[in-house]
Each structure stands twice: as C-alpha cells, then as structure tokens.
Structure 1
Amino acid sequence: MSADNAVGNVSVPLRNLLNSIQCMRDRVRDGESNESDGAFDLSNFWHTLNQAVKAVSQEATKLSVAFSKPPLPSQQDGEKLSEWILKSVLSLATVYYWLPKSQGVSLRRQVRDAIVDVLEGVTQLVGVILSSPLQSLSHEQLTSTGGVWSACDSLSQLPRDNKAALLVVLCAQIGVVKDAIEEIEQALSEVQDPFSDVLDDDQEPRGNQDTYWSEKDRRVIGPCQGLMKASAACLRKLTSAVKTHGDVSTPQNVAQLDDLADITKELSPGVDDLALCLYPPMDYSGVEDNVSKLGALLKKVLEIIRCSHVCGESQLTWVQFLDGAVDHNLQKTKDLLQQDS
C-alpha cells in the first residue's frame, strides 16, 4: 500500500470522528438536561464527571501521540483510537445531562460551557491532525493538545454547587466594574485639555471640546461615578452576604441564587454603557438615558437582594444605604444636566 493510500485510509475514521464530536458539541450547547424525579446525588455527579474528563484528556493525548511521528497508525488502529476517544467524549456529554436544573441554572450553565470547551478543544485537535502533514508533529498540534488539557483542567475546577456558581458570576462582574471605574478616574486625572501645552501664550483656549471635558462635564461625571461606585459596592457586599448566608438546601433558595446571578450579570454592561458615554464629546441626553437605566437596574438588584435569603438584618442596613445613594446620585445628575451650560 502506498503512503498516500495509508494517509487516505487513516483519515476516514478521523473525519467521521470529527463530524460526530461537532454534532455532540452542538447538542450539548443547545440541549437541556434531564429533570430528575428522585433525589440527585451531587457528589456522585462530580466524581463521575471528573472520571469522564480524565478519560477524555487521556484519549486525546493518545490520539495526538499516535499521529506525532511515523509510522502512521494503520486504518484499524486509527479506527480504534477514534472509537476510544468518541466513547470518552460521549460519556462526558452523558454525565452533563444528568445534572438537573433543580441544582441551579447558574451551575448548569457553567458546567455546560466548560464541557463545550472540552468538546471544542478535541474538535480542534482532530481538525489539526487532519489538516497537518500526518508524518510530523506540528506546532498547531502541540497547541491543540495543550488546549484540550487546559479545557479538561478548567472543568475539574468548576464550582461545586449553585452558591459557588453565583460567586463566580459576582467575581467576574466585580472585575469588569472595577476596571470601568479605574479607567474613568485615570482619564479624569489627566490634563483637562490635552492640547493646551501646544498653544502659544497669547492664544485663546480652543473652543472645540470634542477631545476634553468642560467644567460642567466634570461636574456631571461626579454623580455618575457615584452610581458606578454604588454598583461596585453592591457587588462586593452581595458577595460577602452570599458567602455568609447562601444556601442550596431548598429549591426556593437555589432559585433565588439564580435570580441574583441573572440580575447582577446586567450590572457590568450597564456600568460600561454609562462610562462610555462620559468620554468627550459628552452627549448629555445619552448620559441621562444611561444614568436612568443603571439607577433603575441597581434599584431592582437591591430589591431582589432584600427579598432573598442572603439578606439578614446586617445586610438590610447596607441595602437601604445603597438604595438611598442611588436616589441621591440620580437626582444630582438630573439637576446638573438641567443647569444652563
């Protein structure tokens, strides 16, 4: 048999494998889990999932090694390798479907996304092996193999319940909001007119304010920053409350944690939208619109916190304080925007 025929024969099971994993990846991404009528053993789920992801990592490594140097696997060996890796990814996907929504939608989303990443990593590895010269180990193949390992490791580091899943969401939100606040503060600390140093002493200040803030702009930014900082404070305080009081022992509490995850995910986009419209040239109507949206969102977040099991007496104090801070900054922004330029 010629080398070309050998390559062609061993490519057939790989192409079939690629198509199967792509279909499986798409089904997991769009599919729903099975609802369990009886008691669900979460610890058994994690044990089985970890075993499944280890198997995927091992089989992906075997596949990569087999196609890293000559001689090429025979068609029969290629079929066996493809069969083993397909069996491992199918087991992984099957375990995902065990996880019911009653354990938390936030938890399910993070598990689903992590499994999709693993399946995508295996898809890329098989694709690279097919598209690279099958007699040598390419840089792309090494990178793709490492990508599978990384995705498998990330899956093993997932939060173990819906409380932990909410804390992951809050941590991500805090980071984005913090960055937006710091960027505005950095911009404000710079020279008011970045071109002032190139003007002659006898020249009038430039009338074009498209690239710097006017005094009124800066006054308006103050309460806008107040709203952004209230968002950050809310996320930090909520994180502490969830760590202290978060509970997953009842369906109601699990659902409340999901509600908190869903509503707080809207905060960082709201803060970003407000921050972006503050840069010169400032559009006051855009500022007013985004301030109103972020203020309303914050009020809604605080109300959901107030009605949830994570809000005890000590939490109620800061919820009420931040609620008042939102009202104050909303009114202050409105007053400043209505003043004559």
Structure 2
Amino acid sequence: MSANTSGGNVCVSLRNLLNSIQCIRDRVRDGESNETDGAFNLSNFWETLNQAVSAVSQEATKLSLAFSKPPLPSQQDGEKLAESILKSVLTLSTVYYWLPKSQGVSLRRQVRDATVSVLEGVAQLVEVILSSPLQSLTQEQLTSTGGVWSACDQLAHLPQDNKAAVLVVLSAQSGVVKDAIEEIEQALSEVQDPFSDVLDDDQEEDEPRGNRDMYWSEKDRRVIGPCQGLMKASAACLRKLMSAVRINGDVGVAQNVAQLDDLADITKEISPGVDDLALCLYPPMDYSGVENNVSKLAVLLKKVLEIIRSSHVCGESELTWVQFLDGAVDHNLQKATDLIQQDS
C-alpha cells in the first residue's frame, strides 16, 4: 500500500516536471534573446553554457539511475530529483537567453536548436520513465538517457562564433548540391532506362517496354548539359564562398556579422533550387518546367554573387571567381534556353 502510494506521489512529481520542461522548451524555441547594451563576453558565455549543459547531463543520469532498479525513490527523494533536474534545465535556458542577436543570427539559431534538442531529450526521458514499469530499466529508458547525453555533447561542440556557424550552414548546403549533381551524373551514365530497377519487376517478359517517355531523347541530353553547368556553378559558388568566409570572415564588427548572416540566409535557397532543377530533368522531361527552374536558379545565383561581391569577404582574389561564375551562369542559362526553344 505504502509502495503504491509512494509510486503515485513520485509520478505526480515527474508529471509536474515534464510539464515544466515542455513549457521551458517551447519558450526557448519561440522566445527572443536579451539584447545587451554593454560589451558581451562570448568566451564567458561558452564557459557558462558548457557548465550548464554538463549539469543537465548529470541530473538526467541521476534521474535515470534512480528509476532503473528497486527500491523506488521516496516521495521526498523524488521531489528532490525533480527540483534538481528542473533547476539545471532552467539554468541552461537562462544562459541561452544571454546570447544576443548581435553575436550573429546564424550562431544563435544553432545554439537555440541545440538547446531545444537537449530539453526535448530530457522531456522524452521523463516521459519514458512515466510510461515504463517503475523500478525496471527498459531499453527505451537506456536509449532516452543516451539521447540526452548525445544532445548535450552536440551542444557542447557547437561553432564558437558566427563565422564558424555560417561555415556550418554553407557546408550543409554544399553537401546537398553535390549529392544532386552526382545523382544526375549517375543516371546519365546508365545507358538503359533510369527507372528500370523500379519498374522492371512489374513488366511481363513477353511485353517489352515501348514507352519512350521513360528514356532521355538526344535533345533531352543536350538540354541537360547546360543545366548541369548551372548546378556545377552553384556548387563552385558555395565552395568558393566557404573559402572566402574562412579567410576573410570577420565577427569583430556588427556590420560584418550581419553580412555573414545575409550570406548564410541567401545561400540556404541554393540547394532547394538545385533540387527543383534536378527533379524536372528526369524523363519524361517537361521543357517548360526545366526552363522555369533554370531561370529561377540563375536569378538566385546572380543575386548570391552580387551579395558576395558587396560583402567584406570579397577581396580582389575573390572578385575574379565571382565575375567568372557570373559569366558562367549567363552562359548556361542562355544555352539551356536556346536548346529548349530549338525545334519547338
């Protein structure tokens, strides 16, 4: 009877804890930082944040261990555990709010997302403990505990300033664009129907496929050429920009921090643009769709290059490739348009 009562009281503490963590998580996800008028010490922020993250990890581990084997924590011990983990979570969210937007929007987004991941991990752990048989360590609880550790580890290894945060964004975009280019190249290298591995199982042996819409025509392949050129220009732009940011990127002046954020934001549009173009290149090819996506990607790339040109990361050596890529975009756009309209 007393064990059941104790279990019920502990569960009340855990449910209250879960509600509190979820509220804190939602505020972090949607809230704004506290702007400071004075100088902001970024190294002090990171030191304090890492201490807060370490405390959350330790408290989550304590909570998990307390509910991994008999005896069940007493009501008093359960309340202390809940208070302790809630205190660590509140401290983490408070430290996050110290980081002002003036340190860089890209940096703040990454710190916010990583903080939210930690809070979600802790909330999930509490949920698992509540839904599992008390006094037994389930695989799900082990996994959830590991999830908290992993989220804490990621937060502790975030980029340390806005320049590094922008490089993370550019690297992710570059990877997606590279994948899209490789997929098209792979499909083109296959002489047979690019969809044969998907559709052949449904094909009767005595009914050979005669649907030419599933293959690229010679004109299709000619049109794909400058489209690939535009996609490769996108990849080169991201690659070169990453190098320029590494060499020239500056976070000592507010204007330069903002320029880095502008570069990150505009380049986030490149991979969706490349993906849209790549998808419409597969047979049966819709030339109007190809022309539309080629035009949109070209306009976007010229806008990106213009923003690069006017930013502090563009020195004399960078200006050379910016101008070259600007010309390459024009050339491939014109060539694709001419080939699409040919014989139409």
**TM-score by structure 1 length?**
0.96
The CA distance in 1 between the partners of 2:231 and 2:340, in whole Å, is 18
Taking the aligned partners of 2:125 and 2:53, their CA distance within structure 1 comes to 16
Counterparts of 1:203-222 in structure 2, within 5 Å, are: 206=210, 208-222=211-225
* Aligned equivalent of 2:295: 292
Alignment gaps of 5+ in structure 1: none
Give, in whole Å, the separation in 1 of the partners of 2:3 and 2:296. 65
In structure 1, what is the equivalent of residue 240 of structure 2?
237
Rounded Cα–Cα distance in structure 1 between residues aligned with 2:209 and 2:113: 54
Runs of 4+ in 1 over 6 A off after TM superposition: none
Give per-residue Cα distances to partners, 1:29-80, cap 9 Å, x unaligned.
Answer: 0000011000000000000000000000000000000000011001110100
Residue-by-residue CA offset, 1:107-139 (whole Å, 9 max, x unaligned): 000000000000000000000000000120000
Number of residues of Structure 1 aligned to a counterpart in Structure 2: 335
Q: Distance in 2 between matches of 1:123 and 1:205?
A: 54
Percent identical across equivalent pairs?
A: 84
**1:76-112 deviation per Cα after TM superposition (whole angstroms, max 9, x unaligned):** 1010000000000100000010000100000000000
Q: Which residues in structure 2 correspond to 1:22-37 (within 5 Å)?
A: 22-37=22-37
Q: Which residue in 2 is equivalent to 1:3?
A: 3
2:231 counterpart SS class: helix
**Partner amino acid, structure 2, of 1:212:** Y
Go from structure 1 to structure 2 and tell me whether the alpha carbon gap of 1:312 and 1:6 turns closer, same or farther (over 3 Å shift): same
Partner of 1:283: 286
Q: Is the Cα–Cα contact under 8 Å of residues 177 and 228 in structure 1 kept in the other structure?
A: yes
| 2: CA distance, partners of 1:325 / 1:91 | 52
Q: Residue 35 of structure 1 aligns to a residue in which SS?
A: coil
What are the equivalent positions in structure 2 for 1:1-341 lying under 5 Å apart? 1-193=1-193, 206=210, 208-340=211-343
In the TM superposition, what is the alpha-carbon distance from 1:192 to its structure 2 partner? 4.1
Q: What secondary structure does 1:158 align onto?
A: coil
AA matched with 1:332: K
The CA deviation at 1:212 is 1.3
**Cα displacement (A) at 1:204:** 10
In the alignment, the residues of structure 1 paired with residue 155 and residue 193 of structure 2 have an alpha-carbon distance, to the nearest angstrom, of 49
Alpha-carbon distance in 2 for matches of 1:9, 1:34: 37
TM-score (norm 2): 0.95
Aligned partner of residue 159 in structure 1, secondary structure: coil
- Please report how far the alpha carbon of residue 2 of structure 1 lies from its aligned counterpart in structure 2 after TM superposition: 3.7
Given the superposition, is the C-alpha separation of residues 8 and 205 from structure 1 closer, same or farther in structure 2, using an over 3 Å criterion? closer
Rounded Cα–Cα distance in structure 1 between residues aligned with 2:250 and 2:91: 30
Matched-pair contact (CA < 8 Å) for 1:209–1:280: no
- Which stretch of structure 1 is more off in the superposition, 48-57 or 184-193? 184-193
- State the Cα distance separating 1:280 from its structure 2 match: 0.9
Mapped to 1, the partners of 2:77 and 2:21 lie a distance apart of 19
**1:192, 1:213 within 8 Å by CA — same for their partners in 2?**
no
Equivalents in 2 of 1:209, 1:175: separation in Å?
A: 33
Deviation at 1:293, TM superposition (A): 0.7
After superposition, what is the alpha-carbon deviation per residue over 1:204-256, rounded to whole angstroms, capped at 9, x for unaligned? 993x3332111111111100000000000000000000000000010000000
User: What amino acid sits opposite 2:242 in the alignment?
Assistant: T
Retained in 2: the 8 A contact 1:163–1:248? yes
Equivalent position amino acid for 1:326 in 2: V
Cα deviation, residue 7, structure 1: 1.6
Work out the CA distance in 1 between the residues paired with 2:81 and 2:212. Answer: 66
Distance 1:171 1:278 in 2: 25
